[in-house]
């Protein structure tokens, strides 16, 4: 167990902290599609991602979704940080984009380590910073790009985190993630195919122009 931890977080944390994490953390294997966090949940432990990817979603009043970003190996969910430390409800939904492996650290330890380890403090602050950057990028995408560019960026990002240029997804699922309608997505996908940037198949899309 400690091997794995050292491999992914050894460059960040001193041995003593790694040992503490290993002692109090619990390892979890997560299957693709599992909902890790629901909007409104109180979070009692913080996930450190070892492998795989997590999709972070926001929801509107009608219950329709919007993807914010993906989290990958070496990250944690800074939203979780907020919730734990602020003792407030989750503002977002987190779903395993791929099979994933993570360590859950109880919230009490998180706070304790903030005073004790400088490397932990830096990690937490760096995580906030990363998440802030991701949110700003999400805003850029939503506010400044037209739907066809947003769509292609989404496909590329998805290919990236899945380490595969063939994406297993339906038009309806894409439409939900991008907060638009299936018809719009089908139309724009067809245009992308005509322009030679993707190949369309039933239940999967191959991204050519990576």
Partner DNA sequence: ATAAACCTGTAACAAATGTTACAAAAAAAC
Partner DNA sequence: GTTTTTTTGTAACATTTGTTACAGGTTTAT
Binding site for a second copy (CB under 8 A): 58, 60-61, 66, 68, 78-79, 81-82, 85-86, 88, 91-92, 114-115, 118, 121-122, 124-126, 128-129, 131-133, 135-136, 138-140, 142-144, 179
Q: Which does 146 bind (CB under 5 to 8 A by kind): a second copy, DNA, none?
A: DNA
Question: Which of 3, 86, 202, 210 lies at the binding interface for DNA (CB under 7 A)?
Answer: 202
Q: What are phi and psi of 149, to 5 degrees?
A: -75, -40
Which residue lies nearer to DNA by CB, 23 or 202? Answer: 202
CB of 152 to DNA, least distance (A): 12
Indicate whether 190 belongs to the interface with DNA (CB under 7 A): yes
User: Binding to DNA by residue 208, rule CB under 7 A?
Assistant: no
Q: Which is nearer to a second copy, 136 or 191 (CB)?
A: 136
Q: What is the DSSP letter of 210?
A: -
Least distance from C-beta 21 to DNA, angstroms?
Answer: 40
Q: To the nearest whole angstrom, how small is the minimum distance from the Cβ of residue 93 to a second copy?
A: 12
Contact residues for 79 (Cβ-Cβ < 8 A; gap 6+): 37, 56, 90, 91, 92, 94, 131
CA dist., res. 67 & res. 59, Å (int):
9
Tally the C-alpha atoms within 13 A of residue 90's C-alpha that lie toward its C-beta. Answer: 22
Q: How large is the greatest C-alpha to C-alpha distance in the chain, in angstroms?
A: 57
By a kind-dependent CB cut-off of 5 to 8 A, residue 166 interacts, out of a second copy, DNA, none, with none
Q: 42: which strand partners?
A: 89
Give the C-alpha separation, 110 to 4, whole Å. 20
Residue 174 to residue 149: CA distance in whole angstroms: 13
**Interacting residues with DNA between 129 and 148 (CB under 7 A):** 146-148
CB of 205 to DNA, least distance (A): 8
Tell the smallest beta-carbon distance from residue 142 to DNA (Å).
10
98 to 30, 55, 146, 170: CA distances (angstroms):
8, 9, 28, 16
Residues contributing to the site for DNA (CB under 7 A): 146-148, 170-172, 179-184, 186-187, 189-190, 200, 202-203
């Amino acid at each position: 167990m400690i091997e794995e931890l050292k491999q992914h977080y050894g460059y960040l944390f001193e041995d003593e902290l790694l040992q503490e994490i290993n002692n109090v953390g619990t390892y979890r294997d997560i299957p693709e599609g599992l909902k890790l966090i629901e909007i409104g949940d109180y979070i009692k432990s913080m996930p450190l991602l070892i492998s795989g990817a997590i999709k972070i979603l926001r929801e509107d009043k009608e219950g329709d979704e919007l993807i914010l970003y993906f989290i990958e190996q070496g990250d944690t969910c800074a939203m979780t940080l907020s919730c734990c430390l602020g003792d407030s409800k989750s503002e977002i939904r987190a779903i395993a984009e791929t099979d994933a492996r993570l360590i859950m650290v109880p919230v009490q330890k998180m706070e304790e380590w903030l005073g004790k380890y400088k490397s932990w403090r830096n990690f937490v602050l760096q995580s906030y910073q990363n998440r802030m950057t991701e949110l700003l990028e999400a805003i850029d995408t939503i506010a400044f790009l037209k739907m066809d560019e947003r769509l292609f960026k989404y496909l590329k990002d998805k290919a990236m985190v899945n380490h595969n240029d063939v994406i297993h997804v339906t038009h309806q699922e894409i439409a939900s993630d991008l907060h638009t309608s299936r018809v719009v997505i089908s139309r724009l996908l067809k245009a992308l195919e005509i322009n030679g940037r993707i190949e369309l198949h039933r239940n999967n899309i191959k991204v050519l122009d990576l």
